[in-house]
Amino acid sequence: MEIVTLVLEGEVTHEDTMGNKATISKGEVQRMTAGTGMAHAEFNRSDKPLHIYQLWFLPNQKGLAPSYEQKDVDFLDTKNELIPLVSGQKVLEDVVYMNSNTTVYWCNLSEEKTVTFKTFPIRLTFLYVKQGTIYVNGTELGPNDQARMTDEHVLEIRASKDAQFILIDLPATEANY
């Protein structure tokens, strides 16, 4: 699996059976390729609250060696744009690379602002709202709501209240969609 961890608040300590140990802080993204196998665990070793998203994707090939990449993307302070955090699409720069033809975006969208996302018929789009209220092509989504789009290839996303959300663009062949 390709395991992506986004830290929204606090910090998380990662340890695995290969002897790796790392701390991922607020605003950082980590990609772990579990590959040919390892056991791993995450811990909140602080007394401060921890809020993470951990996303699992099928890799684009089997038999990959376990590996990591971690980067401070500072995505939490951006405004009114889709920020790519992790991607297997090599056309994007300054993002964490993963072995999947998938891209994960983050957006802090201010009230009454709009972003547009274009995709292709062979792609799927998943959207998850952390907070606020958005309209996706006219459909309202609130905190903890999600939407899965298969036939919408241009998304107009407008915030009616300040909002935070992730958008995942993945191939239609992904079995984990």
For the chain, what percent of residues have pLDDT higher than 70?
A: 97
Task: Give residue-wise pLDDT tens across range 78-130.
Answer: 999 999 999 998 777 789 999 999 999 999 999 999 999 998 888 999 999 99
DSSP-assigned beta bridge partners for residue 167: 105, 127
Task: Determine the pLDDT at residue 166.
Answer: 97
Q: What's CA 64's distance to the chain center, in Å?
A: 21
Average pLDDT over every residue of 133-141: 97
Domains identified in the chain and CATH numbers: 2-171 (2.60.120.10)
Per-chain mean pLDDT for the chain: 92
Question: If residue 115 lies in a helix (H) or strand (E), which one and from where to where?
Answer: strand 114-118
Whole-structure pTM value: 0.92
